[in-house]
Amino acid sequence: MKLAAILTVLASLALAQRAPSALPKVKFTDVKLDNGLRVLISEDHYAPVYAICVAYKVGSKDERPGRTGFAHLFEHMMFKGSENVGVGEMDFLIYTNGGSSNGTTNTDRTSYFETLPKNQLDLGLYLEADRMRGLVINQENLENQRQAVKEERRQSNDNQAYGQTSEKLEEMIYDAFPYHHSVIGSMADLDAATVDDVKQFFRIYYAPNNAVLALVGDLDTQATIAKVKKYFGNIPAQTPPKAVDYTEPPKTGERRASITDPLARLARIDIAYRFGPGSEDDARALSVAASILAGGGGGFGGRGGGGGAGNISRLYQLLVQDKEIASNVSARADRRQGPGFFHITVTLRPGKTPEEAEALVSEEIARLHSAPVTQKELDRAHISLMRAAESRLTALSRAQALADAAAVYNDPERVNNEIQKSLAVSAADIQKAARDQLINANKVVLITQPGAQGGRGRRGGGN
Amino acid sequence: MKSTTSLFLLPIALLAQDSGQSFRGMVRLNRAPVSNEVLKVRLPRPVEKQLGNGIRLLVLEDHRAPIISLTIQIPSSPLRDPAGMPGVAEATAALMMSGTAARNQRQIAEALADIGATVGFSAGAGGGGGRGGGGGGAAGAGTGAITVSALTEHFDEALALMTDVLLHPAFPAEEFQRWKDRQRSAIEQARTSPTGLGTELLMKVLYPNDARQFTRLTAESLNKITRESLVEHYKKYYTPAGSLAGIVGDISARDAAATLDKALAEWKGAPVEKISLPITAPIAERKVWLISRPGSVQTDLVLANRAIDRTNPDYIACLVMNQVLGSGPAARLFRIIREEKGYTYGVSSSFSATRYLQHFSSSMLVRTEVTEPALTDLLKEFKEIRDVPVPREELDGAKRTLAANFALGLENPSAVLARWLQQREFGLPEDYWDTYSEKVAAITAADVARVAKKYVPYDNVQIIAVGDGDKIREVLKKFGPVQEVSVE
């Protein structure tokens, strides 16, 4: 006890010395070219590098029935060469000049990004402009990438424990097509994609007026704008794609299903609540609530034996620590351009049932309805938001955040405002959001049981 | 005091200009503008301070965000686990935060949550290096670590909490029992991962005689480990003398040293003897190891053998050779096995070269039906780099990649600090990173051919396969004698 007292004194002395933390604001210039390309530039001279991110306003939400997985398959095609860049040449040029590159697709947008030394600004701009202007689309490239994507699907879904769970869950949450299907898509639809589909998709969605270009790093804003005009300025605009209709038929009751997963060894329960239309403020409040329910790390399933701080979130304390029925819990608010959802996952310990877990989770949801979260809980959620600054230190992370905010929400200032708004979420906001959104009419429950074979390795000979 | 930066030139000046020739798996049109300007880059050097308790502290300032992060290496390591008891170091680290003389687990967790800080104790990699990781950073060095990360205004508080835990851990019997119960589910859960199973088997094959074979706690050792094993491990290996520490972020070197000297004044102890494990020759005979996973739609393949440790003089030649062969999307394995053949979503190769790990490995997940052609073609690439000189263009590209990538690393002070910690850890020369580009530039095609022949396994390759046994057993026999291994 004596030691603790001394430590407290030391701590308060130190507290007086160091200034309160403030989050650095991302400053940027926002211009639009004549062809509709939105360009965001943020200078940062810390290191002699820059990041470029091109986000296209197209994701799996834009796919049509029979062509699920197409937006992501298309992303792969963007690495197979363009009018002035040969197959494999882009990666070679980027990597051998010290850079790195990748692409990513989600429900709402597809983005492409590179980090390069600052003297290679022309190179990065040229490569991105060339594939926006004239992609090489042929049967050979399509077949080739179809295989890579199908392999990606096997690796991340079909060959993983719980790989089918998230796909099934989204099917149950959404009735309307845009979010009813997964980003990775079905094998049958991937097989059905044709060269004409690729060409049409490119023309409609990969136009400058449907894209955002973000540049962050050791750059001069005016000189960079001039270069952007030089490389992108003459790419013609196209008729804008029609807006996606997210309208969901009203949900009238809880939905439940149970699946068997031969690769899983522990039962798992997923509980989700779809947000109603126009629920942006509720979604934000519930993302703070998620941190109070299950923030701070989720579980202990990982390897390597890290001894981190215990998790004091409500669900972790209840399910993992006190009742000892779960090995892992998580909660998050999935926020998107259209209606998102709140998602709780509980992985059970051997011999424990999903029903026990669900009853306890329901009590915690009811508690969010009936009483405000405590000030202490709110303060802790806020301070963990302040730590978000850590994830923003690289030029690439800021370029991606700016491009995403502009492409998905048409609001690049969101990179600064969203954190401030989250810090302003009150206990009353959370209670209101829980009452409006976390209700049985919005609820989906999916139970994943280990399969009969349990995924156990066959006992073979030897060793 | 040392200068805090050293100037070096991006290697374009040191390497031949790119003449734009195409080679396997690539078509070059040479129309994109490439700058040949020589960039002058300043590589930040950390300031070094000696702390009162024997710790050498490296400090790298970065005031872009109000965050300070500290890492202290400690001698604790899974490689020091008593024979037959893998998991003691892991358990000790996991239980450190479960209570002190003054606070219980919940109080510690709440105090940290109140200030948004993280404190962690980890046992280190041990045999966990597995695949990947080309010897970067200190993680593979086999040492444990203490980490503290907090907003600037709360750093001292977080440090005080960590110190309380470090000096007065209680290892409460009840928490230990709960941890054991949870581990039973965690061990079960880990069995579902094909890559996890493959890595476990890889380490058993390559390091059969010592603690390196274990990547984690086992079900048997869980029954044997007692609270006393933890207390003993803690007393022996949670000591500061001779340890290295690094601090990066919103703090000056002077302030960092003073703060740590004060906070850690009571933490004392003599240096601990270094771990001594043999560096042994590659396995001589080719062999296939199979774990059957019924229902698997893919085969996880790892091709490996023992190679070099971090101090081997061939290290840089191996890095260059591997850059040509299997590191990143511009390398042969990605271009040919993934892009041209379409067998897999990802394929790569790397050297796990640390003080204790000494192997080369290449891995990929392929759909069950193409297990045979994928293996055949991967081995063909091994043979190619062993037998056919690498074209000049391709070699220069690989060298530029390694050296120029250095500039990007400057963005991330933690990565820069990790390089300097590595230099200290392995006793590399003071100017090691200053002359790194020159060392890379000096590697010739003959060097690459020599190390490929020596370290990329072909006749003696060890093939680890995790997949549906009934579908791939016969196929695998074409590649060598198959030994089947069961998973409990």
Q: What is the pLDDT along chain B (488 residues), one digit of tens a residue?
A: 344 555 555 554 556 567 778 778 889 999 999 988 777 776 789 999 999 999 999 999 999 889 999 999 999 999 999 988 999 999 999 999 999 999 999 999 999 999 999 999 998 765 544 444 333 333 345 678 999 999 999 999 999 999 999 999 999 999 999 999 888 888 887 888 888 899 999 999 999 998 888 888 899 999 999 999 999 999 999 999 888 999 999 999 999 999 999 999 999 988 899 888 898 999 999 999 999 998 899 999 999 999 999 999 999 999 999 999 999 999 999 999 998 898 998 899 999 998 888 999 999 999 999 999 999 999 999 999 999 999 998 999 999 888 888 778 888 888 899 889 888 888 899 989 888 888 999 999 999 999 999 999 999 999 999 999 999 999 999 999 999 999 86
A342 forms bridges with which residues in the sheet? A273, A333
CA-based nearest residue in chain B for residue A378: B114
Q: Where are the alpha helices (DSSP H) in A246-374?
A: 280-294, 314-315, 354-370
Chain A residues within an 8 Å CB radius of B410: 47-49
Residue of A17, A118, A303, A374 for testing the chain B interface, max B β-carbons within 10 Å:
A303
Q: How far is CA B280 from CA B115, B126, B209, B314, in A?
A: 48, 17, 11, 16
**Closest chain B residue by Cα to residue A82:** B29
Chain A residues 135-154 with CB within 8 Å of chain B = 143-152, 154
Task: Confirm or reject contact between B95 and chain A (CB < 8 A).
Answer: yes
Enter the tokens of residue B114.
Answer: 């109140």
Cβ <8 Å between B10 and A154: no
Task: Give the tokens for residue A374.
Answer: 């405590």
In this complex, do B64 and A46 lie within 8 Å of one another by their Cβ atoms? yes
Chain A contact for B17 (CB, 8 A cutoff) = no
Q: Output the pLDDT for position B271.
A: 87
Side chain identity, residue A33: L
Separation between Cα atoms, residue A112 and residue A212, nearest integer Å:
11
In whole angstroms, give the CA distance from residue A320 to residue A294. 11
Which positions in chain B touch A324 (Cβ < 8 Å)? 178, 181
**Stretch 402-441 of chain A: residues touching chain B, C-beta under 8 Å:** none
CA gap A423, A139 in Å, rounded: 51
Q: Is B360 left (phi over 0), alpha (psi -120 to 50) or beta?
A: beta
User: Does B174 touch chain A if contact means CB atoms closer than 8 Å?
Assistant: no
Question: What distance in Å separates residue A392's CA from the closest CA in chain B?
Answer: 9
Which token pair is A331?
């909660």
Which of 306-365 (B) contact A at CB < 8 A? 328-330, 334-335, 338-340, 342-346, 365
* B34 contacts chain A (CB < 8 A): yes
Apex CA A265: angle with CA A259 and CA A266, to 5°?
75
Mutate to test the interface with A, among B143, B192, B327, B343 (most CBs of A within 10 A): B192
With an 8 Å Cβ cutoff, is A309 touching chain B? Answer: yes
Dist CA A63 CA A55 (whole Å): 17
**Which residue, among B417, B89, B8, has the nearest Cα to B248 in the 3D structure?**
B417
Shortest Cα–Cα distance, A248 to chain B (Å): 35
**b/e code A404-413 from CB counts within 10 Å (16+ = b):** bbbbbbeebe
Summarised one tens digit per residue, pLDDT across range B157-216 is 999 999 999 999 999 999 999 999 888 888 887 888 888 899 999 999 999 998 888 888
Check CB contact under 8 Å for B108 and A95.
no
Residue length, chain B? 488
Among candidate residues A446, A266, A456, A421, the one with its CA nearest the CA of residue A341: A446
Q: Which two tokens stand for residue A161?
A: 């424990």
- Residue B116 vs residues A15, A379, B148, B180, B478: alpha-carbon distances, Å: 14, 9, 11, 28, 56
- Contact list in B for residue A19 (CB cut-off 8 A) is 152-153
Q: Which chain A residues are Cβ-neighbours of B342 within 8 angstroms? A: 143-148, 151
Alpha carbon distance B2, B9 (integer Å) = 20
Are A21 and A386 in contact by the 8 Å Cβ rule? The answer is yes
ipTM of the complex: 0.87
CB–CB contact B29 A85 (8 Å): yes
CB contact under 8 A, B151 and A264: no
Strand arrangement, sheet containing A326-334: A255-261, A443-450, A268-274, A341-348, A326-334
**Residue of chain A minimizing CA distance to B395:** A96
What is the number of other CB atoms lying within 10 angstroms of the CB of residue A429? 20
Which residue out of B23, B153, B288, B395 would a mutagenesis test of the A interface target, given it has the greatest number of A Cβ atoms within 10 Å? B153
Q: How far apart are the first and last CA of chain A?
A: 54
Task: Report CA-CA distances (Å) from A178 to A67, A282, B416.
Answer: 12, 22, 44
Under a CB-based contact definition with an 8 Å cutoff, are residues A406 and A412 in contact? yes
> Which of A49, A92, A330 is the best mutation test for B, with the most CBs of B within 10 A?
A92
- Among chain A residues, the shortest Cα distance to B415 is held by A394
CA angle B226/B229/B231 to nearest 5° reads 115
A69 near A146, Cβ under 8 Å?
no
Question: B23, B300, B411, B414: which to substitute to probe chain A, counting the most A Cβ within 10 Å?
Answer: B411
> Are A386 and B168 in contact (CB < 8 Å)?
no
Assess contact for B268 and B339: CB atoms under 8 A: no
Nearest chain B CA: its distance from A277 CA (Å):
33
Give pTM, 2 decimals: 0.89
The nearest CA of chain A is from the CA of B401 a distance in Å of: 4
Helix (H) or strand (E) holding B454: helix B445-455
Q: Which residue has the tokens 């949670």?
A: B238
pLDDT tens digit at each of 463 positions of chain A:
333 333 333 333 343 445 566 778 899 999 999 999 999 999 999 999 999 999 999 999 999 999 999 999 999 999 999 999 999 999 999 999 989 999 999 999 999 999 999 999 999 999 999 999 999 999 999 998 898 899 889 888 888 889 999 999 999 999 999 999 999 999 999 999 999 999 999 999 999 999 999 999 999 999 999 999 999 999 999 999 999 999 999 888 999 999 999 889 899 999 999 998 889 999 999 999 999 999 854 333 222 333 444 588 999 999 998 999 998 899 999 999 999 999 999 999 999 999 999 999 999 999 999 999 999 999 999 888 888 777 788 999 999 999 999 999 999 999 999 999 999 999 999 999 999 999 999 999 999 999 864 333 322 222 2
Sign of the alpha-carbon torsion through B220, B221, B222, B225: positive
**Chain B nearest-CA residue for A395:** B411
Task: Please give the DSSP secondary-structure letter assigned to residue B480.
Answer: S
Could you tell me which of A323, A393, A392 has the C-alpha nearest to residue A363? Answer: A323
The conformation of residue A86, written as its DSSP 8-state character, comes to -
Q: Judge whether A351 is closer than 8 Å to chain B, CB to CB.
A: no
Name the E strands within A268-414: 268-274, 306-307, 326-334, 341-348
Q: Is B281 an 8 Å CB contact of chain A?
A: no
Sheet with B298-306: list strands edge to edge. Answer: B344-353, B358-367, B298-306, B462-467, B287-292, B482-484
Q: Quickly list H helices, A98-243.
A: 121-133, 139-153, 165-173, 177-180, 187-192, 195-205, 221-232
